[in-house]
Amino acid sequence: MRLHTPWLPIILFSVAACGESSEEIPKAPQIVTDRDQMAFNREFGSGTYIGTENFNSLAITNKGQDPLIITGITLSAPAEFKLKLPEGFSSETPLQVETNKRVFVEVSFKPREPRVYEGTLTITSNAGNLTEKVVTLNAEGISPP
């Protein structure tokens, strides 16, 4: 009698996919952000009502073996954007991020008039893949109904 199990190839493939990753972690620190753009209520063509405040955060992760040292986080944008730095970071105290750890940077947006607002957030570090990471800011102020 022949045993026919149509699920066996699927099970074997699934078990093989669960194995260890052969990808090595690079020695040099690697900066990785969860996005390249921070948009503030721009989904579906909407925006942020004038006089209200909207928040957005950016996760910064180190994907290298050596510590990622963040030496600068600068905002180049209209005054309607405000930057909240990670705890313990200042121009005198660089921020150290260990392997596979992350820190968050928060940006708020509070429009004063109905128009499109744009800017950039620049992160300077010792990363082997990118010493200067630029994230664009995109927002729109709209009049309340």
pLDDT in the model for residue 46 = 84
Identify residue 110 by its one-letter amino acid code: K
pLDDT in the model for residue 20 = 52
CATH architecture of 25-142: Sandwich (2.60)
Domain ranges of the chain: 25-142
**92: CB partners within 8 A, 6+ apart:** none
Is residue 59 within 8 Å of residue 104, measured between CB atoms? Answer: yes
pLDDT in the model for residue 56 = 94
103: buried, middle or exposed (CB in 10 Å: 19+, 13-18, 0-12)?
buried
Owner of token pair 């052969």: 22
Provide the β-strand partners of residue 120: 76, 136
DSSP state of 72: E
Per-residue pLDDT tens listing for the chain (145 residues): 455 555 555 555 555 555 555 568 899 999 999 999 999 886 666 899 999 999 999 999 999 999 999 999 999 999 999 999 998 888 789 999 999 999 999 999 999 999 999 999 999 999 999 999 999 999 999 998 8
pLDDT in the model for residue 39 = 92
